[in-house]
Structure 1
Amino acid sequence: MLLRLLVDAIKRGWRDANGSFNKLTIEKKILSVLNQKLGSEKNYSHYKNRMKILKARYQSYVDLFRHSSGFGWDPVTKKFTASNEVWNDYFKGHSNQSHLRDNSFEDYEDLNLIFGSNTATGKNAIGLSDSSAQPSETHDMNPLEEDQGATYHHQVHEDVSFSSLVTEISNQVFGILQQRWKQEAEEKQAEEKINCVWDAIKEIPDLEDDVRYDAMTKVHELGMKAGFAKMSITERFGWIKRHVYKS
């Protein structure tokens, strides 16, 4: 619940210019909603402790990408990807992290948005060590060499800026795709729930079969599939008493 609320807050632009949430925002716009939904009494200290745990979890994910550029992320399976060689090399120093290879991690994308949305990973990581290498010896340059050096450094700067721009755009596009995939999944789930009226009727206890059949017929006659599927079991029973038993 906390992750969902924080992600929503980021999309609403509630973070400060430095990328963090101030205490007032957390208390008034995050914890107040969380406590209302969960019936809890979490305060700012609880929030800070939970964020430490979440950040440590996120750090274990980030360590993969820092270890090797061979690691990637599959947004469909929600799993980290790499060749056997890359995984085996990682486990040499992280023998207790085998779950990172086998498990799926639904929270990674949310944690990445909260703690490190600008972190480059896998093939998106930018390495400057090769392109920015300088000669080991220093000497006086003639004017032509100085011009060539200035052009070289200008080109390196342009290359780095372009790479940063490409990475930023890639992250934005990936975020848009993630939102679309999530929306499609939610729409599919809602549609499946609407089409399972019979399952919703069978969840109601102590109904005779004839009543269930009549209720199924009445729901379709009245075009109530969507509304009926959204009701609680108690509300469905009340609806049947009103529309089936009455008739």
Structure 2
Amino acid sequence: MDPNSGDNQITPKKQSGQGRCDTPRRTPRKYKSKSLDENVMSGGVMRWTDQMDDCLIDTLMDVVANGRKSANGFKKETYKTVVESVRRALGISVVEKHVGNRLRTLKRLYFEVRDTLNASGFGWDDDKKLVTAPDDVWDDYIRSHPYAQHVRRKPVRRYDDLVFLFESD
């Protein structure tokens, strides 16, 4: 597939109500005592908000749709693009390390959900964006796959987009 030809390009599925990071906010949110950066930083650890995740995912989807993802994953230039998108759209200072860490977290989440869905007895509630199964199925599965405990009741809002981004990895 030639990414420059315009033929056979994958078009990312856009969901209604999802965040967009290509529209910069005019002013950062006002918080009573902390700056926006302080609200996402806790004990030296970056806490990603839904808006930040939306911006990251939207930017990565554009990268994939434009054929700029390598066979080995996302290039370092992509991290720079995400850093600039988050800063421009949300007024939050992130660095490439934050982007790489969040990308690894989202990729791990994707594989955990995918593996759980591939196990017998599990389904997907598209309205709630949640992996579903009877309690006894969950209990048995978690005994042999303890990592799955946190996906039991955790909605994965952008799972369809994570499939688009990571299914070939």
Distance 1:2 1:97, change over 3 A: same
1:26 is aligned to: 79
1:9 is aligned to: 63
Q: Which has the higher helix share?
A: 1
Q: Tell me the amino acid that sits aligned with residue 47 of structure 1.
A: V
Residue 99 of structure 2 corresponds to residue 43 of structure 1: no
Distance 1:60 1:15, change over 3 A: same
Return the TM-score normalized by structure 2.
Answer: 0.53
Return the TM-score normalized by structure 1.
Answer: 0.39
Unaligned runs of 5+ in 2: 1-54
Q: Tell me the amino acid that sits aligned with residue 112 of structure 2.
A: S
TM-aligned CA deviation for residue 90 of structure 1: 0.8
CA RMSD of aligned residues (A): 2.8
Residue 126 of structure 2 corresponds to residue 72 of structure 1: no
TM-aligned CA deviation for residue 2 of structure 1: 1.1
- In the alignment, the residues of structure 1 paired with residue 99 and residue 90 of structure 2 have an alpha-carbon distance, to the nearest angstrom, of 14
- In the alignment, the residues of structure 1 paired with residue 152 and residue 72 of structure 2 have an alpha-carbon distance, to the nearest angstrom, of 31
Q: Tell me the amino acid that sits aligned with residue 33 of structure 1.
A: S
Distance 1:37 1:90, change over 3 A: same
Unaligned runs of 5+ in 1: 120-247
Alignment deviations for residues 85-136 of structure 1 (CA, whole Å, 9 cap, x no partner): 43232133356755533342213222222222x58xxxxxxxxxxxxxxxxx
Distance 1:24 1:97, change over 3 A: closer
**SS of residue in 2 equivalent to 1:10:** helix
Identity of paired residues, percent?
31
Aligned positions, number: 115
**SS of residue in 1 equivalent to 2:124:** strand
Decide which of 144, 147, 153 is 1:93's aligned counterpart: 144
Residue 119 of structure 2 corresponds to residue 61 of structure 1: no
- In the alignment, the residues of structure 1 paired with residue 147 and residue 104 of structure 2 have an alpha-carbon distance, to the nearest angstrom, of 21
- In the alignment, the residues of structure 1 paired with residue 88 and residue 108 of structure 2 have an alpha-carbon distance, to the nearest angstrom, of 27
2:156 is aligned to: 105
TM-aligned CA deviation for residue 52 of structure 1: 2.2
